[in-house]
Chain A
């Protein structure tokens, strides 16, 4: 079965492709990339007016499977990813049971094979049960298919454990991803500590709860010379620390979510639990600082930290609601509308941050590029398409997304994974005679 995508504008900053090109896909791989490819008897998609990018990768999602399938499953989560323009996702291990042994990793991979619409790369736990005491069998897990290691949901509070983890991961050539938070400073906070938390009488999580751990982690990465990726950066302080770390050549990479870029804590006066997330939504200054950091390349990638919860779970008093924001189906439109169209970053840079760079950080050799012989993972964008976010139409099981009713310009319109169209809002492909 062959698929011919015609008339699209191909943009792959990695391979320096930046023109109108036809792409022919055969046997799940990219077979030809040429200015004009004859129609013959392929399935044809007319991508006029669309931008064709290397498939986007979200390296931070929570799929809740196994154990909390009422919130999301591998099947529904991957459908959501596809609808959001993502061809690959890396899923975090804080499931029930935790993905801290190869049995669970293999379960996830096998379920993905059966029911996932996109490529799924499990991230395994760094410590057993994510308890922060004993390292997991990282080599065994890597063998089973784990792409990286993290205790996300929790920080690794014990610095000695983090040090040992980094040393060991370096030896294996694998990556650790860290959720930076000082649990004691966060205490029982539920939103960003500041004027608004004082106003609303809600316990606050100070921004330096993240900063102190970012600082610690940077020092450990420096001393062990091991690569470390910092998850969901949310503060001005973190940005400054990462900037100076990069200047020193320390192997730190980082990610930022759309909600930390575009929402601030003054919105919480409504006590809307869809704004309750960890790390919390911070101030406008933090927003500005993060946007500047994206512009200057201090932050490497976008990631959603997609954290689905059921409606009942969120429909309670603010203190009781679980932390988490659903993000797969709004991320790309938000970045297009608020960063690319506002000329903060170029479209090329956005594509880098959604595909080439995550691929590089995760060590995915053949992803994040449009190249003959590479897997046919493609994200097609219509940068002018106007949408109004409607959470009721989401593919995800969950609805806890704070961007409902937002009007955005730009959206993913087709997602191709291994040569198969897993999402499309374009006309159905036609076959030529």
Chain B
């Protein structure tokens, strides 16, 4: 489906500042960083998780383990995904038993992805706490889920889409609001 860009709400500078702020918040609220693990939800959540881990290393010189979570098998809404069938690997090479888990995703929308992620985590072990970091909170929640750390809150309409572009995969950092329609 063709899409057109409605607005560019964050550029790379704003994104960098958001990351710094969130990393600081995390280190403030988590006294024992040695008990922290970060788990990114595929695909973009993973890169955000890694950036957060790198910042924590920079600030506090602590290596927080980062894991990759694929929640395809826990979804309740197959129609939302384009490549609905492709299930990729979940790679969490450490135990989450009794850990403080920081779950990371790029956009918080209906909340169903996060619900699926929590179900998946609980099948993998029993974390002590689960905190949620999202880069963009765009409203329209359908479940009682809220983020502990938010990069930016963005009111949107349902038909709009929020695209978080990261230079690791998209060549540059920016946050766009797009909507369907538009010319070649």
A–B direct contact (CB < 8 Å): no
